[in-house]
Chains A and B, each alone.
Chain A
Amino acid sequence: MKSARSLMQYYRLLSRWPNRLQLPSQTCIRCASSQPKITTHYSIIPREGDERWKDIEMERYADEADVVIVGGGPAGMSCAIRLKQLAKENGKDIRVCLFEKAPELGGHTLSGACLEPRALQELFPDWKERGAPLKTPVKHDKFAILTKNWRIPVPVFRGFPIYNEGNYIVRLGNFVKWLGEQAEELEVEIYPGFACTEVLYHEDGSVKGIATNDVGIHKDGSPKETFERGMEFHAKVTIFSEGCHGALAKQLYQNDNLKLREGCEPQTYGIGIKEVWEIEESKWKPGYVEHTAGWPLNRNTYGGSFLYHLDEGEPLVAVGFVVGLDYSNPYLNPFKEFQRFKQHPKVRPTFEGGKRIAYGARALNEGGFQSIPKLAFPGGCLIGCSPGFMNVPKLKGTHTAMKSGMVAAEAIFSAITDENKTSETSGLYVPEYEENLKKSWLWKELQSVRNIRPSFHSFLGLYGGLLYTGLFYIFGRGKEPWTFKGHVADHKNLKPAAECTPIEYPKPDNEVSFDLLSSVALSGTNHDHDQPAHLTLRNDEVPVMRNLAVFDGPEQRFCPAGVYEYVPLEGGEEGEMRLQINAQNCVHCKTCDIKDPSQNINWVCPEGGGGPAYSGM
Chain B
Amino acid sequence: MARVLVGVKRVVDYAVKIRVKPDKSGVVTDGVKHSMNPFDEIAVEEAIRLKEKKFASEVVAVTCGPTQNQETLRTALAMGADRGIHVEIPAADYPKVGPLHVSKILAKLAQKEEAGLIIVGKQAIDDDCNQTAQMTASFLDWPQGTFASELKLEGDKLTVVREIDGGLETIELKMPAVVSADLRLNEPRYATLPNIMKAKKKKVDKLSPSDLGVEIATNIEVLEVSDPPVRDAGMKVENTEELISKLKEAGLV
Flag if B17 contacts A225 (CB, 8 Å).
no
Flag if B31 contacts A174 (CB, 8 Å).
yes
Question: Contacts A613-B33, A615-B32, A616-B31 hold; do A215 and B16 have CB atoms under 8 A apart?
Answer: no
Flag if B192 contacts A231 (CB, 8 Å).
yes
B17: chain A residues at CB < 8 Å are 521-522, 524
A215: chain B residues at CB < 8 Å are 190, 192
A526: chain B residues at CB < 8 Å are 13-15
User: CA A216 – CA B194 in complex, angstroms?
Assistant: 16
B22: chain A residues at CB < 8 Å are 278, 314
A231: chain B residues at CB < 8 Å are 192-194
Kindly state whether residue B196 has any CB partner on chain A within 8 Å: yes
B13: chain A residues at CB < 8 Å are 103, 524, 526, 613
User: CA A278 – CA B187 in complex, angstroms?
Assistant: 40
Contact partner of B16 among A61, A226, A314, A613, CB < 8 A? A613
Closest partner residue, chain A, to B32 (CB atom): A615
User: CA A616 – CA B19 in complex, angstroms?
Assistant: 15
Kindly state whether residue B189 has any CB partner on chain A within 8 Å: yes
Kindly state whether residue B35 has any CB partner on chain A within 8 Å: yes
B197: chain A residues at CB < 8 Å are 63
The contact string, 1 if C-beta is below 8 Å from chain A, for chain B 13-48, is 111110100100000000111010000000000000
Flag if A226 contacts B187 (CB, 8 Å).
yes
Could you tell me how many residues of chain B have their Cβ less than 8 Å away from some Cβ of chain A? 20
B164 to chain A, nearest CB (A): 27
Question: Contacts A61-B194, A216-B190 hold; do A524 and B15 have CB atoms under 8 A apart?
Answer: yes
Flag if A613 contacts B187 (CB, 8 Å).
no
Closest partner residue, chain B, to A610 (CB atom): B15
User: CA A582 – CA B125 in complex, angstroms?
Assistant: 25
Which residues of A (212-234) have their CB < 8 Å from a CB of B? Answer: 212, 215-216, 224-226, 228, 230-231
Closest partner residue, chain A, to B34 (CB atom): A104
Contact partner of A103 among B14, B35, B192, B193, CB < 8 A? B35
Instruction: Give chain B's interface secondary structure class.
Output: loop
A318 to chain B, nearest CB (A): 15
Closest partner residue, chain B, to A523 (CB atom): B17
A91 to chain B, nearest CB (A): 25
Kindly state whether residue A107 has any CB partner on chain B within 8 Å: yes
Closest partner residue, chain A, to B45 (CB atom): A226
Which residues of A (524-568) have their CB < 8 Å from a CB of B? Answer: 524-526
B19: chain A residues at CB < 8 Å are 357
B183 to chain A, nearest CB (A): 15
A228: chain B residues at CB < 8 Å are 189-190, 192
Flag if B33 contacts A226 (CB, 8 Å).
no
Flag if B193 contacts A194 (CB, 8 Å).
yes
User: CA A572 – CA B45 in complex, angstroms?
Assistant: 44
User: CA A177 – CA B30 in complex, angstroms?
Assistant: 13
Flag if A230 contacts B193 (CB, 8 Å).
yes
Flag if B32 contacts A191 (CB, 8 Å).
no
User: CA A194 – CA B193 in complex, angstroms?
Assistant: 8
Closest partner residue, chain A, to B33 (CB atom): A613
User: CA A615 – CA B12 in complex, angstroms?
Assistant: 12
A103: chain B residues at CB < 8 Å are 13, 33, 35
The 5 closest A-B pairs by CB, nearest first: A526-B15, A613-B33, A215-B190, A231-B193, A615-B31
Residues of A within 8 A of B (CB): 61, 63, 103-104, 107, 174, 177, 191, 194, 212, 215-216, 224-226, 228, 230-231, 278, 314, 357, 521-522, 524-526, 613, 615-616
23 residue pairs bridging A and B, Cβ less than 8 Å apart? A63-B197, A103-B13, A103-B35, A107-B33, A212-B193, A215-B192, A224-B187, A225-B187, A226-B190, A228-B190, A230-B193, A278-B22, A314-B22, A521-B17, A524-B15, A524-B16, A526-B14, A526-B15, A613-B15, A613-B16, A615-B32, A615-B33, A616-B31
Known: A61-B193, A524-B33. 5 other contacts (CB 8 A): A107-B33, A225-B187, A226-B188, A231-B192, A524-B16
